[in-house]
Amino acid sequence: MVDGVSYTIARGRTLGVVGESGCGKSMTALALLGLVPKPAHVTGRIVVSGQNLSGIAAGKWPEIRGKRIAMVFQEPMTALNPGMCVGDQIGEVLHLHESLGWKEARERAVEELRLVGIPSPAERAKSYPHQLSGGMRQRVVIAMALACRPDVLIADEPTTALDVTIQAQILELMQRLQDEIGMAVQFISHNLAVVSEIADEVIVMYAGQVVERASAEELFSKPLHPYTQGLIATMPMIDNRQEQLAVIPGVVPHLDGNHKGCRFAGRCHKADSECRALVPALITVEPAHEVACHKARP
């Protein structure tokens, strides 16, 4: 259950969304695309470049998806159709949204492959996904997402399935393309190191709610919410030898409708009776730094 999540991303900026598995990061992304699986439903507003998308008819969504808002997936192995060569898959997006003929769409697809740094793109366009390495596939997925120059790009853990050197290349590529195209990026990850590198602003989600929002610098130097502090403490540091990695005890609670108080209270070492009774609101404690915690008041 995702609840009360609100954020804006400016053109050319990157919002990092962090939180552990199952906290609602991906669900928020799907809500943005009008793809929340039943029986869940979305209340609230989605506004892209001044256009309100929350009220539009179901039949209008395909025009938005891929054109205004695009998405890069976690698993480049499964995000590409195994039975279609990659050039055609990119071409199809262009064919759908820019009413290009098949021949033109294929030519543009080759250009897109060149843009994402794939060597000899004309030959590569005829390859099938299984013939490409993980990093190459992720480049193809990015090319597909960016083919129509979207306003917003949602990247759902785009580097999680890749090894570290490829991760760095893909991040660099995404930043370069963001500068060229000028889109807003929502970067979902549970990898704090990656987020600290790529994001301008970060929101931390826990069990479907935003618990902290701050600029990336501020968040990592001065985390206020005990959950954020815990997350940062779990990052292994390269200079200290650690016998054991730090953990946050407990698991994300299973929420039913009548949960009282702070959702993190059960795992928080600072929690008291107030935390268990009252839901903390997201309040601004410092300029551009919001936190939802009773214990983090100034």
Partner 1 sequence: MNALAIAVDNAPWQRRWRRFRRNRTALSGLYVLVALIVFSLAAAPLEALLGIDANNADLLSRFDGRSATNWLGHDELGRDVLIRLMYGGQVSLGVGIAATLLGAVIGISIGLAAGYFGGNLDALLMRFTDGIIALPLLPLLIVLAAIDLTKLGFSADFARSSAASFYRIVLIIALIDWTRIARLVRASTLSIREREFVLAARVSGAGTVRILLRSVLPNVIAPIIVACSQVLGSVILFEAVLSFLGFGIAPPTPSWGNMLNNAQELVATAPMLAIYPGLLIFITVIAVNFIGDGLQDAFDPRAE
251 near partner 1, rule: CB under 8 A: no
Nearer to partner 1, 115 or 296 (CB): 115
Among 21, 51, 54, 81, binds partner 1 (CB under 8 A): 81
108 near partner 1, rule: CB under 8 A: no
Question: What whole-number distance in Å separates Cα of residue 184 and Cα of residue 217?
Answer: 19
Nearer to partner 1, 131 or 221 (CB): 131
To partner 1, the closest distance from the beta carbon of 37 in angstroms equals: 10
Nearer to partner 1, 11 or 126 (CB): 126
137 near partner 1, rule: CB under 8 A: no
Paired tokens of 209: 């709610």
Q: Reduce the secondary structure of the chain to three states and give it as a string.
A: CCCCCCCCCCCCCEEEEECCCCCCHHHHHHHHCCCCCCCCCCCCCCEECCEECCCCCHHHHHHHECCCEEEECCCCCCCCCCCCCHHHHHHHHHHHHCCCCHHHHHHHHHHHHHHCCCCCHHHHCCCCHHHCCHHHHHHHHHHHHHCCCCCEEEEECCCCCCCHHHHHHHHHHHHHHHHHHCCEEEEECCCHHHHHHHCCEEEEEECCEEEEEEEHHHHHHCCCCHHHHHHHHCCCCCCCCCCCCCCCCCCCCCCCCCCCCCCCHHHCCCCCHHHHHCCCCCEEEECCEEECCHHHCC
Among 19, 24, 66, 158, binds partner 1 (CB under 8 A): 66
What residues from 28 to 57 belong to the interface with partner 1 (CB under 8 A)?
33, 35
> How many residues bind partner 1, per CB under 8 A?
34
What residues from 143 to 202 belong to the interface with partner 1 (CB under 8 A)?
144-145
Nearer to partner 1, 76 or 280 (CB): 76
To partner 1, the closest distance from the beta carbon of 62 in angstroms equals: 5
What residues from 257 to 296 belong to the interface with partner 1 (CB under 8 A)?
none
Among 80, 143, 202, 231, binds partner 1 (CB under 8 A): 80
Half-sphere exposure of 221 (CA within 13 A, CB side): 5
93 near partner 1, rule: CB under 8 A: yes
To partner 1, the closest distance from the beta carbon of 266 in angstroms equals: 32
Among 6, 51, 54, 78, binds partner 1 (CB under 8 A): 78
Chain positions contacting partner 1, by CB under 8 A: 33, 35, 62-67, 70-71, 73-75, 78-84, 92-93, 96-97, 120, 123, 126-128, 130-131, 141, 144-145
